[in-house]
């Protein structure tokens, strides 16, 4: 089977990581796989496996996510059986690809809680099938965008970062960052974009009482980082809020942290939260589409109504004050849930089984 994955650009976001993971896995399963990006380069470009054909439409990076010169010519040269569109701009082209190549099975994906662009919405009515990564997002597709339920499949994200860390990793990482052993560390791994809402996490953390010993580790980079750093300085929190930048592998940071925190309102399923669960971190997050599918609600994670900062803080303090035995049990439950729900091989098999069903090819 020939599979073409179309992605906007291989920057460090969750959708981009899923695109690379899937491309590498399809190729490992002996499927002829091409990863086509609109823009060249990106932080993840070097992580694409050698047996995946990697192409970019823009001859140099124009900085324009939507520009896809020669996309139809490139697809015609590839003649794929399946075209899987990932990312907002790629999905805007999905409908046109299905119209231009009716023999191919074009599959759109919805992995966001943002309002969809007009061309994205048009594609939903034209493509053969739509994959979304949460049941909440499937409901949104059916109710807000009138996509028949039989044309929608839910396949949760796969775990990207999971590796057992050597003994002593927790202490080593904390020493490097300058965080004392008893300090409760809240962790958020996400690109700094307005919709990720790291500002809200800083506002929440600024209200902890002086008796609560905390650090907030913000991992990632992006256009909203400067504003978050300015807010941190304004509130005199530089000693407690740590900006750790982009990490190719943040797994050691999960091991060294205590609680995963999340305030974004625009995701269908958070890669960060499922990775945190796999590393045994309980989660506290604002309610949003798909959030309660990232953890076991009320057990390994807690969804707080948006804007209820006091409730958010109270839950973090409760988790921070938990007994060691209770933390160990919570950690085991979180890890067990994540490994059973977001197993990489299982999710990849679901994609390939769907492709075979839709195309009739093996």
pLDDT digits (tens, 9 = 90+) for 216-251: 999 999 999 999 999 999 999 999 999 999 998 898
In this predicted structure, what is the pLDDT of residue 269? 84
Sorted by sequence, the CB contacts under 8 Å of residue 129 that are 6+ apart come out as: 105, 107, 108, 151, 152, 153, 354, 358
The encoded tokens of residue 247 equal 């990490």
pTM metric for this prediction:
0.86
DSSP 251-274: HHHHHH-SEEEE--SSBSS-HHHH
Pick 2-158+343-359's CATH classification: 3.30.470.30, 3.40.50.720, 3.30.420.40, 3.40.50.2000: 3.40.50.2000
List the one residue out of 241, 150, 243 whose CA is nearest residue 191. Answer: 243
**Residue 164 predicted with pLDDT over 70:** no
Average pLDDT, whole number, for the chain?
A: 93
pLDDT tens-digit profile of 263-289? 997 777 888 999 999 999 999 999 998
Kindly report, as residue ranges, where domains of CATH 3.40.50.2000 are found in the chain. 2-158+343-359, 169-341
Average pLDDT over residues 154-173: 83
Q: For the domain covering 169-341, report its CATH number.
A: 3.40.50.2000
**Residue 165 predicted with pLDDT over 90:** no
In this predicted structure, what is the pLDDT of residue 163? 60
First to last CA, the chain: 7
**Residue 321 predicted with pLDDT over 70:** yes
């Amino acid at each position: 089977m020939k599979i073409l994955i179309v992605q906007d650009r291989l920057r460090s976001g969750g959708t981009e990581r899923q695109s690379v993971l899937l491309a590498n896995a399809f190729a490992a399963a002996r499927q002829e796989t091409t990863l086509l990006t609109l823009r060249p380069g990106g932080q993840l470009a070097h992580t694409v496996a050698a047996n995946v054909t990697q192409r970019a439409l823009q001859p140099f990076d124009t900085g324009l996510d939507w520009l896809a010169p020669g996309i139809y010519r490139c697809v015609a040269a590839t003649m794929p059986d399946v075209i899987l569109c990932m990312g907002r701009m790629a999905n805007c082209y999905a409908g046109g690809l299905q119209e231009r190549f009716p023999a191919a099975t074009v599959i759109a994906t919805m992995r966001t809680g943002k309002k969809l662009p007009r061309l994205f919405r048009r594609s939903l009515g034209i493509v053969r099938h739509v994959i979304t990564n949460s049941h909440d997002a499937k409901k949104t597709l059916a109710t807000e965008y009138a996509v028949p339920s039989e044309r929608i499949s839910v396949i949760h994200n796969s775990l990207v970062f999971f590796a057992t860390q050597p003994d002593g990793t927790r202490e080593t990482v904390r020493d490097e960052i300058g965080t004392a052993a008893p300090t409760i560390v809240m962790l958020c791994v996400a690109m700094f974009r307005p919709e990720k809402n790291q500002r809200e996490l800083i506002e929440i953390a600024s209200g902890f009482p002086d008796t609560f010993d905390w650090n907030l580790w913000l991992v990632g980079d992006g256009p909203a980082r400067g504003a978050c750093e300015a807010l941190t300085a304004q509130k005199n929190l530089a000693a407690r809020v740590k900006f750790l930048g982009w990490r190719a592998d943040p797994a050691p940071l999960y091991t060294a942290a205590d609680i995963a925190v999340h305030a974004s309102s625009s995701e269908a399923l958070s890669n960060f939260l499922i990775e945190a669960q796999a590393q045994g971190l309980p989660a506290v997050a604002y309610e949003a589409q798909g959030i309660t599918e990232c953890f076991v609600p009320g057990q390994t994670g807690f969804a707080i109504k948006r804007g209820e900062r006091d409730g958010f803080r109270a839950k973090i303090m409760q988790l921070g004050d938990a007994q060691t035995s209770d933390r160990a049990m919570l950690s085991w439950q979180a890890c067990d849930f994540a490994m059973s729900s977001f197993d990489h091989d299982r999710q990849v098999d679901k994609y390939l089984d769907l492709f075979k069903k839709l195309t009739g090819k093996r």
